[in-house]
Structure 1
Amino acid sequence: MSNNYEFQGWLGHSPGSINGKMEWGSFEPKKWEAYDVDIKITHCSICGADCHMLRSGWGETPYPCCVGHEIVGKVVRTGHHVKHLKVGDRVGVGAQARSCLGNDCIECSVGRPHYCPENINTYGGVYPNDIGKSYGGFGDYVRTDSRFAVKIPEKLPSEYAAPLMCAGITVYSPLRKNNCGPGKTVGVIGVGGLGHFAVLFAKALKADKVIGISRKESKKKDVLALGADDYIATGDGEQNWATKHAKSMDLIVCTVSSANMPLNDYLKLLRYGGDFVQVGAPDDGDLPAVNAFTLINGGFKLSGSAIGSPKEIEEMLHLAVELDIKPWVELRPLTDANQAILDMEEGKARYRYVLVNEKHLDA
């Protein structure tokens, strides 16, 4: 089957592309397979992962690379095994493009394809058997496995749906799994793209108290406006914050991706039996050393969490409509991608830039 469209996008060709030097160009998508869909992209928000990958922060990136894994668009082509999607459907694609989905896979067989050892990322991934590479959403079209594309609820605007596909699910999943809700005090470390979703979801899930935690006092107004009940400024705010707020929280979701964060002080904020979930991923994966006695004497659990399954994403999208989740987004034209990346790097986003492919809005 032929198509009358071309795969083009903003391509990073070296670590220097993070400095506003992505170049618009054509690329060859993966070879067409029976479960694939082609999607005409209308929206793609900018995730911190995009910056890490452009600079080869998580290992060497297989350049050229078109980043972007918070994608919304319309299906324009379906493989003959695709039954749940049709041409014209509005769908979202997150950080995962494929897993083995085998019945004998220890992860896929129990509904955890995002932990599959054969996971392929939405961009920067290399498929087996010379099928090709994966390219993301900073472009006109994306090709991916339909089983990792999720229909967007009719009442959910595309500019809200896009950042939910990675940032939203990255915090929603651990909140759900750790029983965020009545009776719980929840801390959110780092109130950026991920953290602002964590505050929104924790409040929507009816946690008794939600506390935003960040270095700067300047974010307090925004965090309280998002719905948080309290705010702790660890850098230029109150003194002795770890002692003052010790054993005050049941669950902490940490979105910070820094090897220099005061992790042992953060852990002291947990009550006995509490949960600390790390979702922020620093360059090279480095985190501060944890004092053994902090763990032993605290009696809490330290864990990590990665994105979510398509089933979880679908649940989250419908819940976002039901609970009226409204992320704070700023729309920018896709043509402005380089400047938007620079602004993202400088911490200017409040709290998610959504790139809009304006030529596809009415298509």
Structure 2
Amino acid sequence: MSTDYKFEGWLGKDKQCAQGQMEWGEFEPKTWEEHDVDIKVECCGVCGSDVHTLSSGWEETPYRHEIIGRAVRVGTEVENIKVGDRVGVGAQAGSCLKADCSECSNGLEAYCMGIGSTNTYGSIYPNDMGKSYGGYSTYNRTHSHFVFKIPDGLESADAAPMLCAGATVYSPLKQNGCGPGMKVGIVGVGGLGHFAVLFAKALGADEVVGISRKAGKKGDVLRLGADRYIATDDDKDWATSGARSLDLIISTVSSEDIPLDGYLGLLKVRGTYIQVGLPDGGKLPLVSAFLLIDNAIKIGGSAIGSPGEIEEMLQFAVDKNIKPWVEKRPMEDANQAIVDLQAGKPRYRYVLVNEA
């Protein structure tokens, strides 16, 4: 099997790379194992977590996730993928996958306690197998357990952001019973939040409410399928008028400065609030114990979707004809895409395309 190709991509060497100063260069993928798949990258989503990583000040900041491409090399131990298949990789590239791991053996690979979750970029593989690299690149190498066949009916540029952003909100919606009879609020309507609106509506929620700071996104959110919109900076008495109106809230915002008590007040008795956005430092505002107890509210969190959930989500997107709002940009435009992402310009997900 020919392997006469180079792994090249956008490399961040210091925290200034987040200001549009990544450099193109060659990199060494993880050591090849017979359960691996090499992918010729066609396109890659641009995610907010890319910015968090790029600006971290690490000595070397690697590449990104949300990869779609064609399998060009397939290990002898791989059963689900063949050369030429259109495949994708999300935010996870590895876990221990041992039968005695209670997480991996129960479809909870993202929460693996064995070796932890190996991210698609920025993680060090165990046993000196190298570092993980993602999709701002020409090729990618990933364990086949975390490589997904992309079903017919999904465009590559639409499927790419589903593998992380889509799965990150699809999982808590499904795990918390989103469907007929429920009223669901989505806090933050960006890359993740716009997927959450699309999926909540497709899952059959009775009412989907977009929640953001400003009124400027109202038209977009309603066109995505939301039934109602709350602008917390602009709508007077939003917390009072909407009190106890929602069964479930999914929060995609990654800021410490949010009116959390107000959000929780929107929940019905025994309602559930799930946080998926991760602020720098991981802190959220303090919560009143009286508010939790007096309303029997549950607060939880959710990481990325499991491989099983991602496969289910991809087929669900085909079955329900879900069409995310993506803007294609050439791979060579990655630096400007990062700058524009931080300026809040995408509506609602940039996808880098290897035009060659």
Shorter-chain TM range is over 0.9
Residue 112 of structure 1 is matched in structure 2 by 108
Residue 175 of structure 2 is matched in structure 1 by 177
Matched, 1:275 2:264: no
Helix, strand or coil: the match of 1:221? Answer: helix
| Contact 1:274-1:300 at 8 Å conserved across structures | yes
Q: Where does 1:260-339 land on structure 2 (aligned, <5 Å)?
A: 260-339=257-336
| Paired AA for residue 232 in structure 1 | I
| Contact 1:61-1:124 at 8 Å conserved across structures | no
Structure 1 window deviating more from structure 2 (282-291 vs 136-145): it is 282-291
Matched, 1:233 2:231: yes
Helix, strand or coil: the match of 2:153? Answer: coil
Q: Where does 1:1-363 land on structure 2 (aligned, <5 Å)?
A: 3-56=3-56, 61=58, 63-66=60-63, 68-117=64-113, 118=115, 119-235=117-233, 237-359=234-356
Q: Percent identity?
A: 61
Q: How big is the shift at 1:273?
A: 1.1
Off by >2 Å, runs of 4+ in structure 1: none
The runs of 5 or more residues in structure 1 that have no matched partner are none
| Contact 1:170-1:308 at 8 Å conserved across structures | yes
| CA deviation string 1:4-25 (max 9, x = no partner) | 0000000111111000000000
Helix, strand or coil: the match of 2:309? Answer: helix
**In the aligned structure 2, how far is the partner of 1:191 from the partner of 1:238?**
16
**In the aligned structure 2, how far is the partner of 1:55 from the partner of 1:287?**
20
Helix, strand or coil: the match of 2:166? Answer: helix
| Paired AA for residue 150 in structure 2 | I
**Residues 323 and 244 of structure 1: CA distance in aligned 2, closer, same or farther (over 3 Å):** same
The runs of 5 or more residues in structure 2 that have no matched partner are none
Helix, strand or coil: the match of 2:339? Answer: helix
**In the aligned structure 2, how far is the partner of 1:199 from the partner of 1:61?**
34
Helix, strand or coil: the match of 1:162? Answer: helix
**In the aligned structure 2, how far is the partner of 1:128 from the partner of 1:182?**
44
| TM-score, with length taken from structure 2 | 0.98
Q: How big is the shift at 1:243?
A: 1.1
**In the aligned structure 2, how far is the partner of 1:132 from the partner of 1:167?**
26
**In the aligned structure 2, how far is the partner of 1:33 from the partner of 1:257?**
36
**In the aligned structure 1, how far is the partner of 2:62 from the partner of 2:186?**
32
| Contact 1:62-1:124 at 8 Å conserved across structures | no
| Paired AA for residue 37 in structure 2 | V
**In the aligned structure 2, how far is the partner of 1:276 from the partner of 1:204?**
20
**In the aligned structure 2, how far is the partner of 1:82 from the partner of 1:203?**
36
| Contact 2:54-2:61 at 8 Å conserved across structures | no
| CA deviation string 1:194-214 (max 9, x = no partner) | 000000011111100000000
| CA deviation string 1:160-210 (max 9, x = no partner) | 100100000000011111111111000000000000000001111110000
Helix, strand or coil: the match of 1:143? Answer: strand
Q: How big is the shift at 1:283?
A: 1.0
| CA deviation string 1:111-145 (max 9, x = no partner) | 11111132100000001111100011001001110
Q: How big is the shift at 1:64?
A: 3.9
